[in-house]
Amino acid sequence: GSRPKKAVVFFEVEILDAKTKDKLCFLDKVEPNATIGEIKSMFHKSHPQWYPARQSIRLDPKGKSLKDEDVLQHLPVGTTATFYFRDLGAQISWVTVFLTEYTGPLVIYLMFYFRVPFIYAPKYDFTTSKHWVVHLACMCHSFHYVKRLLETLFVHRFSHGTMPLRNIFKNCTYYWGFAAWMAYYINHPLYTPPIYGEQQIRLALIVFLVRFCQIGNFSIHIALRNLRPPGSKTRKIPYPTKNPFTWIFLLVSCPNYTYELGSWLGFTLMTQCLPVAFFTLVGFIQMTVWAKGKHRSYLKEFRDYPPLRSPILPFVL
């Protein structure tokens, strides 16, 4: 005989403001297998000003945000579920963030390099430096940021689609400000090349370009991209591939940062310029924080994570 169909128990969902506890929205007849992402979309229909990326939906007013992929019936809620909403503020896509962050330094540096008027004394307007290292530094700096822009457009896959708009001002101040500070000194009419002359500059160029580091960094980005199939959020342990530049994965969790540090050390050596050294140091501190965080989450997530690896510097840090 025909078995009676199991009745679907619909959920009722109410969404309250996390701060004031005011009821913002009531959804009745929500499917049990609805995801938080889908609930955000329903909430957006009644409150068009809060698009899904702006919404933080949580079980507790002070709790952690639920993930978009969390399923309603698997959450610790009854058939009448209460969620709390916080506005994350205006959001901006990661692609836009990176394009803005990296276009600035490229353009700003070139303005100093071409000695646009009002930067140095009028007699130097549109002149070029007599030191070849200055032209080399400009090529390396431009190459670095052009590479970053191209990677943003064609290589990186971003799992978190957006970030708060206010962060972009902080990030741009950092990148643009440092680019201006470095460029001012390197392209200054009174700039003097490094003490050890050509050998030092050649060595630095090799460090920067083989960049070890430019190619290495790019290889790592490609390897990381290939770990995640398009459209998915699965995470895997990165391992070395046939490309020798990825073999550093044997010793380091975040080799892209290791290579990045290498390039800026090369650039510091090449220009022998204090602002560059300072930028390298600040960048190194920030990358170490990120690398340690990533390393910790790898260890937490994967039982079989290779024990030899350090976050950023092999055997050291």
- Tell whether 118 and 28 lie within a shared domain: no
Q: Which domain holds residue 170?
A: 92-301
Entry pTM: 0.77
DSSP string, 215-231: HHHHHHHHHHHHHS-TT
Mean pLDDT of the chain: 87
Residue 307 lies in a domain: no
pLDDT at position 108 is 97
Do both 105 and 60 map to the same domain? no
**Residue pair 258/266 in contact by the 8 Å Cβ criterion:** no
Residue 52, domain CATH: 3.10.20.90
d(CA 42, CA 25): 9
105: which 2 tokens?
A: 């330094």
**Calculated CA dihedral for residues 193, 135, 257, 286, nearest 10 degrees:** 70
Do 83 and 158 belong to one domain?
A: no
pLDDT in tens, 133-190: 899 899 989 989 998 998 888 887 776 678 888 889 999 999 999 999 999 999 999 8
User: Which ranges of 58-154 would DSSP assign to H, the alpha helix?
Assistant: 94-113, 132-154
Q: Does residue 270 sit in the same domain as residue 139?
A: yes
Indicate the burial class of 182 (C-beta count within 10 angstroms; 0-12, 13-18, 19 or more). buried
Res 288 pLDDT > 90: yes
Residue 162's contacts (CB-CB under 8 Å, 6 or more residues apart) are 53, 91, 92, 93, 94
Q: What is the percent of the chain where pLDDT is above 70?
A: 92
Domain match, 84 and 103 both = no
Residue holding tokens 């490094």?
Answer: 194
One domain, residues 207 and 84: no
Residues 163, 154 contacting (CB under 8 angstroms): no
DSSP SS3 for 87: strand
Count the neighbouring beta carbons within 10 Å of the beta carbon of residue 61.
14
pLDDT digits (tens, 9 = 90+) for 260-281: 898 898 888 888 889 999 999 9
Beta strand extents in the chain (DSSP E only): 11-17, 23-30, 55-58, 80-87, 91-93, 162-164
CA distances 34 to 13, 28, 263, Å, are 11, 12, 47
Instruction: Return the axis-axis angle of helices 165-186 and 274-301, rounded to nearest 10°.
Output: 140
- Looking at the structure, do residues 83 and 99 belong to the same domain, yes or no? no
**Does residue 50 sit in the same domain as residue 21?**
yes
pLDDT band at 252 (very low <50, low <70, confident <90, very high): very high
Which tens digits make up the pLDDT trace of 11-70?
999 999 999 999 999 998 898 889 999 999 999 999 999 999 899 999 999 888 898 888
The pLDDT of residue 160 is 64
- Torsion, Cα 111 117 122 127, to 10 degrees, reads 40
Q: What's the pLDDT band for 106 if we cut at 50, 70, 90?
A: very high
DSSP string, 4-31: PPPPP--EEEEEEETTT--EEEEEEEE-
Structure tokens belonging to residue 237:
């342990």
In the numeric block, the tokens 């009644």 are attached to 46
Question: How many domains is the chain built from?
Answer: 2
Q: Closest by alpha carbon to 177, among 278, 284, 289, 291?
A: 278
Same domain for 165 and 207? Answer: yes
Residues 223 and 293 placed together within one structural domain of the fold? yes
